[in-house]
Structure 1
Amino acid sequence: MTSLYAHAGGDEGLHRLEEVFYAKALADPVLKPLFPQAMPHHVRNLTWFTAESFGGPDRFTRDLGFKHIINVHRHLQITEEQRQRFVDLYMEAFDEAGLPTDVPFRDAVREHVQFGSHVAMQNSHAETDADLHPLREVPHWNWAGDDQQEPAP
């Protein structure tokens, strides 16, 4: 079965998605405290993370490492409102970026973003390493939305 990465259009499709999402996040009053200014490599890093999660190249792990994403979220104090707004804007960006609209793909992307936003929120409140979510590597997402299952036929 085709990977989520290939189904999304590879780097080109995911980069387009992350560009649209990042512009929304920078302009959104609820997310503005989390995204106070544009960072030059943020879209690239988001693209690399999503690509690797969806079965693409492992550039995020090789070039940045998972500790990077933990450090980025640490001490942000993400609220439930911000977490949900992140998911909502991401799915809006998904629609606007022209990615495939089939329900299985859309559901897998939503599950991925829901999961990741919960991990980020937990890590943003962690006072010690023991308080961090136990995830320590880029999750490998699939059609079922569970990195422990094989993709559905």
Structure 2
Amino acid sequence: MAKWLFKTEPDTFSIDTLKQQKVSCWEGVRNYQARNMMRDAIKVGDEVFIYHSSCKDVGVVGIATVIKEAYPDHFQFDPQSPYFDPKSSPENPRWIMVDIEYQRHLRLVSLKRLKANPALAEMPLVKRGNRLSIMPVTDAQWQEILTMTGQF
């Protein structure tokens, strides 16, 4: 099983929302590199860190599990959606999504702490200009972040 970090703005969708819904589609990814990871690499059973961005408390806040692999993001076809893409069609969809299931909240591990940890220096999240909405996480990085929560 692979491990991932999914970024979200908590004003739009938070770990609390996921906990309440239990299962949610991860829609609205409109970056080709992130889309390709969802399409080609993310599999059922993969674990995901949920990361809050663009907010007061930026950082890793919880864990989810992928329960459905890539399928067309139906919001791309809805003219009323902010994720509408007029160049996409049901016959040739450009964008996909996966479904995730809430596992648990974590004590916040802030971006500042992540950047300060030498064991995470190669993590895409802490490197300049390399902050996609979906990023791979190595097993060692995953364990380091879990250790940083102080919960394990």
Query: When you count helix as a share of all residues, which structure comes out higher?
Result: 1
Fold shared per TM-score above 0.5: no
TM-score range, shorter-chain basis? under 0.3
Query: When you count strand as a share of all residues, which structure comes out higher?
Result: 2
So what's the TM-score if we normalise by structure 1?
A: 0.26
- Which one has the largest radius of gyration? 2
So what's the TM-score if we normalise by structure 2?
A: 0.26
